[in-house]
Amino acid sequence: MQVAIYGGSFDPPHVANLMTAAYVLAAGGFERLLVVPVYEHAFDKPLAPFEHRTRMSRLCFAGLRDVEVSDLEATLPRPSYTERTLEHIAREHPDWRLRFVMGSDALAAVEKWHDYERVKALAPPFVVTRRGFERPGDAPAVLPEVSSSRIRELFTRPTNDDAARRELAALVPEGVRRYVEEHRLYRL
């Protein structure tokens, strides 16, 4: 079985994440896509609690067939490294042929990754080109520029800020927006 592994912070998950998943399934020939929110950021970036990011991811990807959101990283040893997650998945599912989904922007930072060569060996990258990060020979950019930090900032604005509400409606799936508001995430 061809399985794409899509890891990330998903803090919060947004329309570009959803578009990535749909694109990978449509263009990559995968039978399944496993979304794996990171338990903690490898570069110590602060994140919303894992349980919230996992629940929001389930809401975000709920409409896509053949997509599963996994809470696997909560059970793995720390620190959270991509190759450890991939090793675990490969051990648990030896019949899966893995590919690791990554944006073209992430390629510029692979020298900072822990054992990127092992990541490539376990699950060769399936690169999705992001606008502004095109390279010669890449497929056309298919993702809009969406900034999670911008989205988090918009959630800090007063609920009567109509411009912020409109922008959030364009960037974040409705179920995720409702969840963030209900749990008062990203409020200062």
> What is the second-level CATH architecture of the domain 2-183?
3-Layer(aba) Sandwich (3.40)
| pLDDT tens readout for residues 166-187 | 999 999 999 999 999 999 999 8
What is Dmax (Cα atoms) for the chain?
52
Supply φ then ψ for residue 135, to 5 degrees.
Answer: -130, 155
DSSP state of 123: S
Reference 131, options 105, 110, 109, 150; nearest CA is 105
pTM summary value:
0.93
DSSP state of 37: E
- Calculate the average pLDDT of the chain: 92
Mean pLDDT for the stretch of residues 125-150: 84
User: Nearest 5 degrees, angle CA 79-CA 81-CA 86?
Assistant: 135
Lowest mean pLDDT among 37-46, 73-82, 112-121, 129-138: 129-138
The C-alpha atoms of residue 18 and residue 177 are separated, in whole angstroms, by 14
pLDDT at 43 over 70: no
Mean pLDDT for the stretch of residues 148-165: 94
pLDDT at 42 over 80: no
| pLDDT tens readout for residues 83-131 | 999 999 999 999 999 999 998 888 878 888 888 999 999 999 999 988 8
pLDDT at 138 over 80: no
The better pLDDT of the pair 41, 34 is held by 34
Residue 188 pLDDT grade (very low, low, confident, very high; cuts 50, 70, 90): low
Q: Starting at the edge strand that comes first in sequence, how are the strands of the sheet with 32-37 ordered?
A: 67-69, 32-37, 2-8, 97-103, 125-128
User: Could you tell me the CA-to-CA distances from 60 to 27, 73, 166, 173, 179 in Å, in that order?
Assistant: 20, 19, 18, 6, 10
Lowest mean pLDDT among 52-66, 122-136, 151-165: 122-136
